[in-house]
Amino acid sequence: MTTTAERPRDTPPARPRPAAAGDGTAEEQAGEAVMGLDMVLVDAARGPLRRMVPPVRTLAALGTSLVRRPEVVGGRLKELAEEVGRIAVGRSEIAPSPKDRRFADPAWSGNPLLKRTMQAHIAAARAAVGLVDDADLDWQDDERIRFALTNVVDALAPSNVPFLNPLALKAVIDTGGRNAVSGLRRLVSDVVSPPRVPSMVEPDAFTVGEDLAVTPGAVVLRTDVFELIQYRPTTETVRSVPLVMVPPTINKYYITDLAPGRSIVEHYVAAGQQVFMISWRNPDERHAEWGLDTYGQAVLDAMEAAERITGSEQVALQAFCSGGIITAMVLAHLAATSGLGQVAAASFAVTVLDWARAGTVSALMDPEAVQEATEKSRKKGYLDGAMLAEVFAWLRPNDLVWNYWVNNYLQGKPPAAFDILYWNADTTRMTAGLHRDFIDVAVGNSLTEPGRATMLGTPVDLSAVDVDAYVTAGVADHLCPWQACYRTTQMLGGDTRFVLSTNGHIASLVNPPGNPRSTFQVAPETPADPEKWLASAHKEKGSWWPDFMSWLGERAGEQVPAPTTLGSAELPVLGDAPGTYVFDK
């Protein structure tokens, strides 16, 4: 796989701006900036803590700008001093955002000392954000400063301090201090091995093949790169065209097959869809050269196997996140080689193909950072999945770091058992070749113009991919912002249905029917502007899973008798699902 051209750097991506002082959300919104896959992959190689400290030149730019505006700095300090005075005498009206769970305990509002401490923290955070606003830095330096500021503000929250957090103090009373011993033991265990963040789930909370990934099926193909699972039908008839699912190359495939009742695969099978699943191998240094071409060929091999087993001349594809990038390029390859008729329909879930409008803070990535990241994975042969997990945690520090700091260490409690977080902790490596290729495509934004990238030797032109597509996104996704996912509707050449689901990156996918809070939005047309789409969209109650099954059902052929056996004479069953690759560590 090759890419050419550099990504334009003259237009900053859209990003949320901090709220004005006084509305109670400054420190919350400071943490709402998103990070794209490109930045995640760079940070994972270099180490996420590198991002916490802005470059010297950025700090110098901030200092120089503020020195030139002494009246502005003085005004901010005066406002802060006046607010601190009101806090001291109990007349301040500062309150945390209702969504801020850190200060949800009644003690933060009822205890005078704790209330004043919390208000002082919020006031200082607002003043700091205000100074960055006043500095009026160029967008690259501004992003760097805000990212660092977010982490400093979150880390210094009084809720993280043992003798101030009411939950920690109550735990001391309830346990006679044993919580401190348990918390210290957990802290040491987490620090000694990556990812060096608080554990979000106990390592024995679930067992793959017993609690998770239990939809009945069998491995019908095994290559060096992947295993192919065919799931056993549970209906008397099935659609003749099989669905081949392409999971992310980060983490294991069973995000699509979590606990029963929460499994995407289980729902599809129950709806009468033939389903095949790619289970990627967890690579090591021996597989360093596997790049986008390797994984693209794997998708083609899986498609061919599904066709041979079912006797269908077509397949449908559904791909997730990074798997969607690979799948889009494979579809372009098929279009270039007159093979696109093999695909009946395609679906892309939380997948970004156009990074220029992804809302990412790619300003934080200078060429030296990109080179350093790819060189580190090249020397090792792979990108460590634990480092990726650490980066993901720092995307949402209050939810994914400090929340567990309080629970695990200050209260000394085990984290709750949650299947998504168990899957998230079950990390995989990424080959150095794939790491390099993904960064090249993202930084160069190579999928936006025909011929700037290739797949298996053919130029990639996504506009030539004229199969019908179903594109989903999460309204609160911090990794793949929905507006960026929406751009896929403009890049592909066929008719596209766009669905905006509730929640964030993973929760928007794991959205089973029956949840009364679940909704999704759809619209009759897909105009170029995502905001115009949103204005015309209407909200549907429930999960998008049945909607996708209805959409796919119109494109997946006629109903035929369900097969009574799995595999075929040419591709016999090699073992029961979930296979062997899913257990690789």
Catalytic residues: 321
Q: Which residues contact 506 (CB under 8 A, 6 or more apart)?
A: 255, 420, 424
Q: Which of 248, 317, 249, 300 is nearest to 456 (CA)?
A: 300
CA atoms within 13 A on the CB side of 27: 30
Is the CB of residue 349 less than 8 Å from the CB of residue 509? yes
Q: Which of 483, 184, 437, 406 is nearest to 293 (CA)?
A: 437
SS3 for 451?
A: coil
- Which residues contact residue 66 at a Cβ distance below 8 angstroms, ignoring those fewer than 6 apart? 72, 73, 131, 134, 135
Angle at 444 between CA 438 and CA 447, to 5 degrees: 75
Residue 132 CA from chain centroid, whole number: 28
Say how far apart CA 128 and CA 120 lie, in whole Å.
Answer: 12
One-letter amino acid of 453 = A
* Residue 270: burial class (beta carbons within 10 Å; 0-12, 13-18, 19+): middle
- DSSP states along 121-141: HHHHHHHHHHHHHHH---HHH
